[in-house]
Amino acid sequence: MAAFRPSPFRPTMPLRVSSQPQTLLKTPATRPKEEHAAGWSSLWNSDRSHFWDRGKPSPALQDLLSLYPEVVSTLPDGSGRRPRALVPGCGKGYDVVMLALHGYDTYGLDVSERAVGSARQYAASELRNPSAYNFRSTSTSNSSPGSASHGTATFLVGNFFEQEWEAHLAPEGEQKFDLIYDYTFLCALSPDMRRDWARRMSELLAPNGILVCLEFPLYKDPKLPGPPWGLKGVHWNLLAQGGDGLVSGDADSSTSEESTSETGLFERVLYLQPERTYEIGQGTDMLSVWKLR
């Protein structure tokens, strides 16, 4: 049994860590890979979501949708359908709803029933009466890469690494996504699951689709225990180089990225430091966009 250490996720609510009672709990990090999903469900069931919940959708993702239409428009002209998006490890569903409000038929997937229950409640009220924080500005509130109308927000309970949940996607037989968004999902997984994460992403992405990663936390030493696990250099290693993502974070990523071969399944088509992101990642978060090679 290990002590639950809340501080690394830097909760949105102030926490007086020193005066906290020592909560003894097996975190996902201390469980074997097979029990990882159950570990996250137990965190939800014991009301720990404030350790990671940011309370609103990602400003960096909104800016990508509004400012980079050439990157996010992945449907051929005249396809006659809305783009489809997936947010694995969606938590309370803020980004799922925001993507739906930007014209995507969006699926939020989470292993926790409790998370999905909260997300469904949130979506029901937010889609009826959207908050301003869903839009970059009021003038762009209706802009979207594929459609001027809102898409749908559907939430599924399921394990990203298994396939059962795919049977609930509509239309039947359509398993691929035009956009997949990862924020604090990869960093929530134990490092030995990273290669499977990359493989699943490649299976679920449509041939012309984009995988969008808001890379966080990049300020944390990847050798320290998580979650969240420090991700400096991890995306590049996993996706571009086809590695196992078990990097030390010691090398200067710009140098190592140029000097090593790229044999991974993905190529990076955009890499930027977002002007707007959550406070906790301001100045360190990076946004990367990937396509299948």
Ligand X SMILES: C[S@@+](CC[C@H](N)C(=O)[O-])C[C@H]1O[C@@H](n2cnc3c(N)ncnc32)[C@H](O)[C@@H]1O
Residues that bind ligand X (CB under 6 A): 37, 40, 44, 52-54, 88-91, 109-112, 115, 159-161, 183-185, 188
Closest contact distance (angstroms) between CB of 70 and ligand X is 26
To the nearest whole angstrom, how small is the minimum distance from the Cβ of residue 193 to ligand X? 8
Does a cis peptide bond (omega within 30 degrees of 0) precede residue 57? no
Of 181 and 266, nearer to ligand X (C-beta) is 181
Min separation Cβ 56 and ligand X, Å: 10
Q: Report the 10 Å Cβ neighbour count for 167.
A: 11
Sheet holding 205-215, edge to edge: 153-157, 105-110, 84-88, 177-183, 205-215, 286-292, 266-272
Q: How far, in Å, CA of 244 to CA of 239, rounded?
A: 9
Which residue, 62 or 184, has its beta carbon nearer to ligand X? 184
Q: Which is nearer to ligand X, 216 or 241 (CB)?
A: 216
DSSP string, 57-122: --HHHHHHHHH-HHHH--SPTT--S--EEEEET-TT-HHHHHHHHTT-EEEEEES-HHHHHHHHHH
Q: Tokens for 175, please give them.
A: 């398993």
Which residue lies nearer to ligand X by CB, 162 or 267?
162
Closest distance of CB 189 from ligand X, Å: 6
Rounded least distance, CB 165 to ligand X, Å:
9
Closest CB to ligand X among 11 and 209?
11
Q: Which is nearer to ligand X, 55 or 69 (CB)?
A: 55
- Rank residues 75 and 169 by Cβ distance to ligand X and give the closer one: 169
CB of 37 to ligand X, least distance (A): 5
Compute CA 259 distance to the chain's CA centroid, rounded to the nearest angstrom.
28
| Look-up of token digits 């559907």 | 154
Closest CB 286 distance from ligand X, rounded Å: 16
Q: Supply the DSSP string of 4-18, one letter for each residue.
A: ---GGG--SS---GG
Map residue 143 onto helix, strand or coil. coil
Q: Say if residue 186 is exposed, middle or buried (CB neighbours under 10 Å; 0-12, 13-18, 19+).
A: buried
* H or E stretch at 41: helix 36-45
